[in-house]
Chain A
């Protein structure tokens, strides 16, 4: 923004996101998004290994089953869940479709979305592991 010569330009302090819990949670969400995208590359590599043949694919799966990779997956999963939850919070705030006369409290919309999400996730898990 244009400034007169005597103004003192504001400078953001390093570590600003540690100033309060909400900034930290926001940064975690953003970092979660980037990490999820990078993990997509791992899954793409899985396809490459599949194409390379059975032994390459099995070796890659074995690598994915090693404890460090499993721990990493737990952290990534937590970040993905957090990322998704924050977007459900957003839907509650925006409420583009209003079914009631007064807007519903955002926590109610958030809760409905989370329940739907759990339902759909449960269905997907059942489809994959349920033997259909």
Chain B
């Protein structure tokens, strides 16, 4: 750590990881309700469990992005953060908003648009938090060095905030409601979040492999260009069956298929940089997460996304367990993993230690990744049967679900493995243990990252 103010990232990482545990725990609970349908049905209905699962995910990923941004922006801009105080206030406000939302959900206070269930005042608080954050970040860059990494990051984050404004638009006409709902959902994960992800990976590649910034930054622009050129019109893959014109079927099919390209480019990028850099960085776990991230994102978003994105396939698969399979692997591969990558890299630096608990962290990687991968397979099988029997043969929804019980048991099992893996990861990051050596002052200035 080169700049004292980078320390604010620690708040965000800790907050994010706690919410990560909440996310996977409620996820496992939801998986258990699939197996034992009467479980908690009178106390916390499935709808509320799921809401807490998805909202915890979104909030912790955003919180992680914020921590990552504060951490890397200081080094990129080569200056202290404009206001560490704003950063701290902003953190507590965000945490409070997130916690209030969850408590509210448990008491039955929520809206009813998927992922945007937060009551309006919490949405307003989120906007305030975002503005404080963006102001702070932008001011930091303005007074320091302007690199491609920080520019792409900031453009991405401004995009995240601006698109969120569509969450306030809720017309009576359901078709319009859905059209603009996807401005938040799709244009986030298949648009501006990719910018954030790519710039974090670019920063980590510069630090971990030692390849020239010049090279890394060209790759960065290539990746984010591919992401937005395809992802904007790729929104069409959600406009097939919601009351929008038929032309979206081919526009959505073509452009969303091309959305695979930026994810493939990220695989090439990370592996090529590691190969080209050829130097071994002591934080092997961080490197593992970077490589794992690009590969899992490619499979989750790219391969599993393509699987059901063509309109004539989507006609049968739309809204089945295939969608659930894809959602899990894509979110994990792209956004969970990039967050854990930067945390694994930055945590030791933030607390002034040499990389610690590398073995446990890497075990956490393999356990969690296997769990998510297996869950994806079981849901894909379940979804394929569902699409065939319900959509093609025309059996009723509930009858088909009764035939999928076996897959839901396997899914619950893999979910529990994910919970174990998540606890391993969080423990390995939070508890350096005695063996973690302090960074000696001289070594600190040498290891120039």
A and B bound?
Answer: no
Chain A: residues with CB nearer than 8 A to chain B? none
Chain B: residues with CB nearer than 8 A to chain A? none
